[in-house]
Amino acid sequence: MKVLVTAKRVVDPDVKVKLDGSGNLDLSNVEYKLNPFDEYGVEEAVKLKEAGKADEVIVVSVGTSDSQKEIRTALAMGADRGILVEVDEDEDLDPLTIAKLINGVVQREEPQLILLGKLAVDAENNQVGQMLGALTGFGQGTFAYRLDIEDGYAIVGREVDGGTADVKVALPAIVTADLRLNEPRYASLPGIMKAKKKPLDVLTPDDLDVEVDAQVRVVGYELPPERAAGVIVADVDELIEKLRNEAKVIG
């Protein structure tokens, strides 16, 4: 079984993001990382390979040439080869465009299983996996906290509102990873040194016959309003009084 897994380059989620004077993100001194939810996907793919259920794990990223670093991280964790779909830095990319580009790679590589993070921690759109499902026509199991591959099916334990739900999807299938799926390994130094020698192909949107024409554009950034300081109430009576008369949220 061939597994395709995504690896998006995102701004380190621990960094406090600032805006510059003209209302754009100030990314001058930030670090970038492999999207943590994609990391769960990579770990799951490598575990499937170690369990003998996958033969090959291919990592795909859509981004500038800088995204090679995040592909190498996934290769250091144990994936076999990488594909970068390279786009210009100033290119607008919306979830549908990214899904189309990944679909282009799916058509070329014909994987039986496609693992994605449920969302990327930068824009938190949570759309690419589902859109890829529509484009490929494959079944999907989103928000996976558990994954088993058996007899041509993916059995996906999903986190849903109010609990969990299992779905059984015929392969080829799309699975998006949630944070309880596994505990990702560290890229070890032996893994890092091996990753250096693993193949990494660079493709363009043209190579995949995909026109980059985003329908969603970022028009500006704004910080959320600062929250005013809270108050400590003495007892429940005072709380109810304030909720009724100040906040006016109860009658």
Cα 135 to the chain's mean position, in Å? 18
**Cβ closest to other proteins, residue 111 vs residue 191:** 191
From the CB of 72, what's the least distance to other proteins, in Å? 6
**Per-residue binding letters, 20-39, with other proteins (x by CB under 8 A):** ---------xxx-x------
From the CB of 132, what's the least distance to other proteins, in Å? 28
> Is the CB of residue 135 less than 8 Å from the CB of residue 127?
no
> Is the CB of residue 143 less than 8 Å from the CB of residue 118?
yes
Residue 47 touches other proteins, criterion: CB under 8 A: no
Q: Where are the alpha helices (DSSP H) in 23-127?
A: 36-50, 68-77, 95-109
Residue 186 touches other proteins, criterion: CB under 8 A: yes
From 96-104, 113-121, 189-197, 240-248, span contacting other proteins (CB under 8 A): 189-197
Question: Which residue bears the tokens 């999207």?
Answer: 35
From the CB of 119, what's the least distance to other proteins, in Å? 21
DSSP one-letter code for 234: S
Q: What is the CA radius of gyration of the chain?
A: 21
**Cβ closest to other proteins, residue 34 vs residue 93:** 34
> Is the CB of residue 159 less than 8 Å from the CB of residue 41?
no
In whole angstroms, what is the distance from residue 43 CA to residue 26 CA? 31
From the CB of 189, what's the least distance to other proteins, in Å? 5
In whole angstroms, what is the distance from residue 172 CA to residue 153 CA? 8
From 120-128, 137-145, 172-180, 191-199, span contacting other proteins (CB under 8 A): 191-199
> What residues line the site for other proteins (CB under 8 A)?
12, 14-16, 29-31, 33, 69, 72-73, 76, 185-193, 195-196
